[in-house]
Structure 1
Amino acid sequence: MSTEFDFRTIISSQTSIMGDLRQLLSQGEYAPFTSAPVFESKFVQVNRRGETMNIHKQPTCVTIGICATSPSSPMPYGMLLAHTNCTQYSRWGRTSAEFLPLKFVELSVHSTDNHQLMLKLVNGRSYYLELCAPPDQQHRLFQHWLQLISLLKPQKNPGNTNINIRCKDSGTSHEKDPSPNNSSENVSLWQIDIKPSS
């Protein structure tokens, strides 16, 4: 791996920002990651067509962070999801959080133009998330997510951090629509059991 491009390089763009997840980690709720570096962004859940999903008449908002086990780690280990209730994108209040080792998730690009990612969990469900950031920061921030996905892509050793990356754009994808039995079109990311299948 090139020493010029690793997880530490990506998170250096946020070293002066104390985001929601960094504040959460600093409180010791996840002891192994109290001082761990984390790259985080806020997202709004959308459906496959890119339309905002409204659960209980309000958007489903989430902060996603990719974190390593220590400040010296060149590669991340896990994903932290903080559920937030928001009536406006500028107002966030953390209500719950979940930690997932990266081997239990599959991260890909759903739409580059609309700054959307797809998160697929080990149980097979897929969720679509649109980056929520000020207009003047959105493009640059999404580029960091593209770099992060590119960084994780070569990792295929199941004994290490295992995350499979599929980059696709909604305008060029020929993937079939998910079957009704596995569709998360109208399911909130927070209404599911994300434990790995036995």
Structure 2
Amino acid sequence: PSPATLDPIALHDLVDSGKNVRIVDVRTPGEFETVHIPGAYNVPLDLLREHRDEFLTHLDENVVLVCRSGQRATQAEETLRTAGLFNVHILDGGMLGWEAHGLTVNRGTERWDLERQVRLVAGSLVLSSILASVAAPKLKWLAAGIGGGLTFAALTNTCAMGMLLSKLPYNRGASCDAQTIVNRLVDSQTTPTEGN
């Protein structure tokens, strides 16, 4: 079944009404630090996959998954649904949709989002390998490999380059380990917090 979505205004109204909803942002810590929905928890997609069972025990409310535009949130929803969590929605349009509606955000240090980083690295590799293939003709195959990888990424809705880039220090934040995130989830069950 296709994942359930929630539009930004509906999520905003749910939060304002005091309903029990957990906003989980699956972008990299660097992207999260740049801009996020107030009260959201940052659980990067790779960390969510790796420590799924630990997080499941603390996600008993309605969960709304957020990423930049919806792709990573869809992957996170599939991970959680496969593990048996069905009270999950995806924020329609992701952070782009939330901001397009002019809704409140917390802003920090400006960083490039992961998709932009992938475009820069892939484009640079293709351009440089084509230019260098004038002197070393076999380098054109690097460009072909990058093109094949991007095609595979589109067909499978995954991105190996994005997963690699997400591990760079630039994309990591101060609290990127599973135990810290689980502690925040547990603390919020007893004491409401602002912007995690």
Normalising by the residue count of structure 2, what TM-score does the alignment of the two structures yield? 0.31
Structure with greater strand percent: 1
Higher relative contact order (CA 8 A, sep 6+): 2
Normalising by the residue count of structure 1, what TM-score does the alignment of the two structures yield? 0.31
